[in-house]
Amino acid sequence: MKWVNLYVVDASDKKDLYQEILYQSWKSIHSYRGDAAFGTWLYRIAMNTVITSKRKQLKLPAFEDLTAYSTISSADESEMDQKEVLKWAVLRLNEVDKLLITLHLDGYSNIEMAEMIGISINAVGVKLFRVKQKLAELIKKTDHGV
């Protein structure tokens, strides 16, 4: 679940989030019905845990600059390799777009993504197309090609 790195920067926060994902998975194992693949079910648990965590953070008073979540500054852009450029662009997406592209990059099909997120397969296709366009625009603005 490398995609968790897109939502949490601090190492201790990452560990806490992983522990929370494990706890929520363990707590919810009885709800697994076998309708979808186990990996799909587990990904959905993880995804919901991350989103819930982010919502809780937003309700707390903000004492830090939100740009801290972007670990790559514009001064460093000229030295980024392709993966870093892609990560830089993905970090600038909204939460839903970030989720869709990470699921896509993890190799999930549109059908699996629709099951996980709870939207239609067509909606996944349309949203994914738009996310790819946003990423292309962001990457083009950095004068880097991926």
Please state the rounded mean pLDDT for residues 85-113.
85
- Provide DSSP, 8-47: --SHHHHHHHHHHHHHHHHHHGGG--SSS-HHHHHHHHHH
Q: In the prediction, which pLDDT does 105 show? A: 85
Q: How many helices (H) and strands (E) does the chain have?
A: 6, 0
In this structure, the chain runs to a length of 146
Q: Are 52 and 101 in contact (CB under 8 A)?
A: no
Please state the rounded mean pLDDT for residues 117-139.
91
Range of the domain at 23: 2-141
Q: In this model, does residue 120 exceed pLDDT 80?
A: yes
**Cα–Cα dist 84/104, whole Å:** 17
Q: In the prediction, which pLDDT does 55 show? A: 67
146 within a domain of the structure (yes/no): no
Domain count, the chain: 1
28 within a domain of the structure (yes/no): yes
The predicted model scores a pTM of 0.56
**Of 15-29, 37-51, 63-77, minimum mean pLDDT range:** 63-77
With a CB cutoff of 8 Å and minimum separation 6, the contacts of 13 are none
80 within a domain of the structure (yes/no): yes
Q: In this model, does residue 17 exceed pLDDT 90?
A: no
Encode pLDDT of 33-62 as tens digits.
Answer: 888 788 888 888 888 888 777 766 655 444
